[in-house]
Amino acid sequence: MKLLVGLGNPGAQYAGNRHNIGFMAIDAIAAAHGISGWKSKHAGLLAEGSLGGERVLLLKPQTFMNKSGDSVQQVARFYKLIPADIIVFYDELDLAPGKVRVKVGGGNGGHNGLRSIDPQIGLDYKRVRLGIGHPGKEFVTHHVLGDFAKADKAWLDPLLDDIGRHAGMLLKGDDSGFMNKLALATKGSDEAKPEPKAQSHIRQARQAKPQAELPRSGPMADMLHKLFGKGE
């Protein structure tokens, strides 16, 4: 059995926050694999199902972010899970929006959720870092506790869809393959389309030059010169 944990804050007011992308990832996995029947247990919302033929538990701690470890530890102890059985999805400031990195072990990077989990279950669990971008040190709190912008849906929706679709690769240990699939899902979402070259109001107002050469003299030349002006 594997335990997949999404980190976030409980309550409708936080549901769209960047800090809650871990919850969003778990919901996407549940939707993709028909996992439902959420129950309030072990200080979290817990659901059980199957993913790629393997039994899994999905957990969204309801303890608020800085006490996430309380819920994770309770579930791990009850089901006798070791860190290698646990996968945690969370927001990562130090990755560009839509970028994903997977690793086992390491530091908490200042993330309060990991800071709570690490001392309670150990460090050797799998971490799925979901990039939300860094706004600058003085804006971090507002950024992580702010909702995703409408423009973010261009990369967020396909990212979450593919997390749900390909989560089984994480259970099989194919972390590189999982990251590649997600990179393809968001490819091009951050590539701005070239803007059409603006014309000055002077150029827009100016009459186009006729393609044929104008007669130099005579009645026809006089008429055309009145219509198009004399050549520059």
Tens of pLDDT, residue by residue over 141-161, are 999 999 999 999 999 999 999
The number of distinct structural domains making up the chain is 1
Catalytic annotation, pick one of 19, 33, 42, 166: 19
Residue 8 CB neighbour total at 10 angstroms? 28
Exposure string for 59-87, b = 16+ CB within 10 A, e = fewer: bbbbbbbebbbbbbbbbbeeeebebebbb
**Would 206 be classed as within a structural domain?**
no
43 confidence band (pLDDT: 50, 70, 90)? very high
Query: What letter does residue 230 receive in the DSSP assignment?
Result: -
Q: Is 134 a catalytic residue?
A: no
pLDDT of residue 230 exceeding 70, the answer is: no
122 confidence band (pLDDT: 50, 70, 90)? very high
**Would 111 be classed as within a structural domain?**
yes
**Would 63 be classed as within a structural domain?**
yes
Segments forming the whole domain that contains residue 43: 2-186
Rounded to a whole number of angstroms, the CA Rg of the chain reads 28
- 65: domain CATH number? 3.40.50.1470
d(CA 164, CA 166): 6
pLDDT of residue 214 exceeding 80, the answer is: no
**Would 163 be classed as within a structural domain?**
yes
